[in-house]
């Protein structure tokens, strides 16, 4: 019997990101337009007779112990359903780390799905999302996938129709940005400008790419860009080279540009690499399929 399973864990970008306010308990209330993109990590699961969680990964600097979100996901399922078998997970990472693309959260979502399958549990998407929120605010979205409005601390999700077809250029400069630093330094209650998230929802429903690109804004840029001006340089470079618009994703430092032609996106990719603005640069498409 084949006792292995392979799943892809897809990254996301934020087409729009607003922070409505900082709550008294310290959490930030957000309104974000999420979009899954065709850039993924691969997880291979193998059932173990021993009661153990073993993680192997191609990135030597990532934790493979209980600090890895994949470990946390498998542990949560094992504990909740009293499973005494174990799992070995081979995590092959392609999504840039600490980049604003929910890399860890999407691995976590895939690990929940994979562990449930490997242990023969029949969990619904809703059940997996409820488990996921215990491990991270973006995890339920990574189970849901596609185009969605995310509210609350990220756990209130409204699925939207798929965004119109386009090419997305992703560029991650070689700096690390901690999500914690960005939120701690955001003056959430003093923001002068807020993105038109409702307008973007309407544009998505109308299938209007220009309606979306006209409204691309991310309030976290007010913290990350002053600390790392290279983000602005990459945004400008994309716009000077055919992007309809460009924006930082999540808390950064990844920048994405929306293109209506693959050729233009590929050309801009070459220029960004040539200028050495970013090392991890990819041309991808939106991805709107369900989690396997």
107 binds ligand ATP (CB under 6 A): yes
Cα–Cα distance for residue pair 55/24, rounded to 1 Å: 38
Per the annotation, the verdict on 285 as an active-site residue is no
101 binds ligand ATP (CB under 6 A): yes
104 binds ligand ATP (CB under 6 A): yes
| β pairing state of 28-48 and 53-57 | unpaired
217, 214, 221, 222: which is closest to 195 by C-alpha?
Answer: 217
Per the annotation, the verdict on 180 as an active-site residue is no
160 binds ligand ATP (CB under 6 A): no
Cα–Cα distance for residue pair 46/33, rounded to 1 Å: 35
Per-residue contact flags (x/-) with ligand ATP for residues 239 to 268, judged by CB under 6 A: -----------xx-----------------
Residue from the set 69, 76, 143, 255 that interacts with ligand ATP by CB under 6 A: 69
Burial of 178 by CB count in 10 Å (0-12 exposed, 13-18 middle, 19+ buried)? exposed
Shortest Å, Cβ 105 to ligand ATP: 5
70 binds ligand ATP (CB under 6 A): yes
Burial of 120 by CB count in 10 Å (0-12 exposed, 13-18 middle, 19+ buried)? exposed
Q: At what angle do helices 262-274 and 230-240 cross, to 10 degrees?
A: 140
188 binds ligand ATP (CB under 6 A): no
Taking CB under 6 A as the binding criterion, the range among 30-38, 44-52, 65-73, 228-236 that sits at the site for ligand ATP is 65-73
Burial of 117 by CB count in 10 Å (0-12 exposed, 13-18 middle, 19+ buried)? middle
CB 174 within 8 A of CB 279: yes
Token couple for 67: 């600090």
When the beta carbons of 178 and 210 are compared against ligand ATP, the nearer one is: 178
Taking CB under 6 A as the binding criterion, the range among 24-32, 92-100, 265-273, 278-286 that sits at the site for ligand ATP is 92-100
62 binds ligand ATP (CB under 6 A): yes
138 binds ligand ATP (CB under 6 A): yes
Distance in Å from the first CA to the final CA of the chain: 20
Per-residue contact flags (x/-) with ligand ATP for residues 193 to 232, judged by CB under 6 A: ----------------------------------------
Enumerate binding residues for ligand ATP (CB under 6 A).
Answer: 62-63, 67-70, 97-105, 107, 138, 179, 250-251
Residues with a known catalytic role: 12, 138
């Amino acid at each position: 019997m084949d006792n292995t399973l392979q799943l892809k864990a897809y990254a996301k970008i934020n087409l729009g990101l607003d922070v409505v306010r900082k709550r008294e308990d310290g959490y930030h209330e957000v309104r974000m337009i999420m979009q899954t993109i065709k850039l993924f990590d691969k997880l291979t699961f193998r059932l173990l007779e021993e009661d153990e969680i073993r993680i192997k990964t191609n990135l030597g600097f990532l934790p493979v112990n209980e600090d890895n979100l994949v470990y946390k996901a498998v542990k949560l399922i094992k504990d909740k359903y009293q499973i005494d078998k174990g799992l070995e997970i081979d995590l092959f990472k392609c999504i840039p780390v600490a980049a604003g693309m929910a890399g860890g959260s999407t691995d976590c979502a895939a690990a929940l799905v994979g562990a449930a399958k490997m242990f023969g549990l029949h969990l619904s998407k809703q059940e997996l999302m409820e488990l996921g929120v215990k491990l991270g605010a973006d995890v339920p979205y990574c189970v849901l996938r596609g185009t969605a409005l995310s509210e609350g601390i990220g756990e209130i999700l409204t699925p939207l129709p798929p965004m119109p077809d386009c090419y997305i250029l992703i560029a991650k400069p070689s700096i690390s940005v901690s999500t914690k630093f960005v939120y701690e330094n955001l003056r959430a209650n003093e923001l002068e400008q807020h993105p038109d998230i409702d307008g973007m929802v309407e544009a998505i429903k109308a299938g209007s790419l220009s309606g979306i690109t006209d409204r691309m804004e991310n309030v976290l840029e007010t913290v990350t860009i002053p600390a790392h001006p290279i983000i602005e340089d990459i945004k400008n470079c994309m716009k000077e080279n055919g992007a309809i618009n460009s924006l930082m994703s999540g808390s950064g430092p990844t920048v994405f540009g929306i293109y209506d032609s693959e050729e233009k996106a590929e050309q801009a990719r070459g220029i960004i690499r040539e200028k050495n603005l970013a090392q991890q640069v990819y041309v991808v498409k939106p991805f709107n399929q369900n989690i396997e």
